[in-house]
Amino acid sequence: MTEILTENKAPDKKQVIYSAIQPSGNITLGNYIGALRNFSLFEDKESLFCVADLHSLTVRQDPAQLRKRSQSLAALYIACGLDPEKNVIYCQSHVPQHAELAWILNCYTYMGELNRMTQFKDKSQKHADNINAGLFTYPVLMAADILLYQTNIVPVGLDQKQHVEICRDIAQRFNGVYGDVFQIPEPYIRKTTAKIMSLSEPTKKMSKSDPDESFVSLFDEPDVIRRKIKRAVTDSEAEIRFDPENKPGVSNLLTILSALKNTTIEEVEKELSGLGYGALKEAAAETIVTEFAPIQSRYKEILADKTYLPNILKENAARAQYMALKTLRKVYKKVGLYQP
């Protein structure tokens, strides 16, 4: 299995690409740099990008907020440049085959495997009053998402690597019994941007479920972005140097800058050498503001048209269902479900 693909490895255009994001909070700069921004690397008629609304139910959601955030994330995919005519942009709950395949795969997944999932352990701690069965079997639903479409490549951040690995294990186990039913997917994780860190606690991953000041949201206004970056935790030295171990805050800002500017960290270090942290923060904030401005204005345009997005989502759900049914029928037949 390819551990972490290098940035130079060009994706093969003919492959099926699949990824998803949960509409469970503000979409962060971490989601954007670690995942969303990489989706367009694969822009191709076989790419599917999903609003993982069913996954969000593993944590209690406000129903009205969830509905709003689901539309918002779909609009954001398009605003980030993914063409909904070429890519299948859809909501998970509009394609019932996800839940159907997940049930079957549940019967081919071991409790022991699920017990090892670090995200389950983390989320159980965070939501100790609601450790539900869905939270435990979450990776099985994610495996169903990926396997339904005979996916080759799954672009994600580092925190999802373990989930893609269990998906591969389930698929290999199933194929071992029934023959080549599922394509075995590979994760695509960019080495340098696999884990964008929290602004307030730079040794922790930036997460949409953490306090507002710890992340930049794709919907933040320029002044909010500037304020949050200005307050980002750095260190007591004054040297702009990439050293994640000893200088996590500064290294995180360098990572963000180099990712958004499409340059190497060394180049950014060189550009800012001799300057203070104020200059680093200003450069980071302005780069983020410039990157987000066109996305935010396209996003507003998309939502201003009341019929555009619902129509796109309906059409794309039908396209996804057509693809998903092909796999599901094969699975039903293989496992012996009677289909008159």
Given the rule CB under 6 A, which residues bind ligand TYM?
A: 18-22, 30-31, 34-35, 52, 55, 142, 145-146, 154, 156-157, 159-160, 163, 195-196, 205-206
Least Å distance, CB 31 to ligand TYM, is 4
Please identify the residue of the shown chain whose CB is closest to the bound ligand TYM.
34
The active-site residue out of 13, 45, 123, 334 is: 123
Least Å distance, CB 167 to ligand TYM, is 8
Least Å distance, CB 230 to ligand TYM, is 20
At residue 117, what is the residue type?
Answer: M
Least Å distance, CB 340 to ligand TYM, is 32
Residue with smaller CB distance to ligand TYM, 17 or 283: 17
Catalytic-residue membership of 205 = yes
Pairing state between β 88-91 and 186-188: unpaired
Two tokens, residue 29? 């700069």
What single string gives the DSSP state of each residue in 48-72?
EEEE-HHHHTTS---HHHHHHHHHH
Residue with smaller CB distance to ligand TYM, 91 or 280: 91
State the Cα–Cα distance between residues 135 and 291, nearest whole angstrom.
Answer: 34
- Is residue 262 left, alpha or beta, with left meaning phi > 0 and alpha meaning psi from -120 to 50? left
- Is residue 150 left, alpha or beta, with left meaning phi > 0 and alpha meaning psi from -120 to 50? left
**Facing residues of 51 across strands?**
21, 91
Residue with smaller CB distance to ligand TYM, 102 or 309: 102
Catalytic-residue membership of 208 = yes
Two tokens, residue 104? 């079957």
Residue with smaller CB distance to ligand TYM, 214 or 234: 214
Least Å distance, CB 256 to ligand TYM, is 10
* 8 A C-beta contact, residue 261 and residue 287: yes
* 8 A C-beta contact, residue 134 and residue 24: no
The active-site residue out of 45, 86, 204, 205 is: 205
Q: What contacts 332, CB < 8 A, 6 or more positions away? A: 104, 339
Specify burial of residue 285 (Cβ count, 10 A radius: 0-12, 13-18, 19+): buried
The active-site residue out of 161, 208, 261, 330 is: 208
Which residues form the catalytic set?
A: 123, 205, 208
